[in-house]
Chains A and B, each alone.
Chain A
Amino acid sequence: MSRLNLDVNLRDHDEIYAALVSMHDGLNEAESLRVSAKLTLLLANHIGDAQIVREAIRIARSSPQK
């Protein structure tokens, strides 16, 4: 049974963050929503595990615990 990985699993965080921000360059809000949705679908499909995706949705939807 696989679990969503919540440990640090990337390097070059600043670079990835900048890429995510600049993904929205020149877009209005509706366009941004759509591009974010496309990214979600691309990554969800790559993960390929419905349970992990659902766990990520759950955490995304919840407020900070501490």
Chain B
Amino acid sequence: MPVLFPLVVSSLLFAVGVYVVLARRHAVLVLMGVELMLNAVNLDLVSFDALWHDSLDSGQLLSLFVVAIAAAEIGLGLAIVLLVFRTHRHIDVDRLRDLADRDLVRTDPVSSPAGSTAGPADEAAGEAVTTS
């Protein structure tokens, strides 16, 4: 087959991934767009390996490395998304514009030793954060 078939498919997948990252508001959807882009790059690597057949099999092996790095990245990225959800109660990337945590909402009852008695301490801590 002409080598353009897989290359055009991967270019279109990459363009769709760019659209998903830029246009969608939910942080998990942004991560899905990043995964689409990484898959497009993998298809490129594999198709160039099929074209050039180099002795190190570098296309296919590099695509395996890309898969492993993408798995590590998505694990860490989703941990960050969960932490943002825990502190802000939403993961709308259009609303997460500040570097400071001004709309912080303490909502983990597990971390406080006794939920209601730790309330005033939480608010004091929150005020200390916003006034510093």
Q: Do A and B bind each other?
A: no
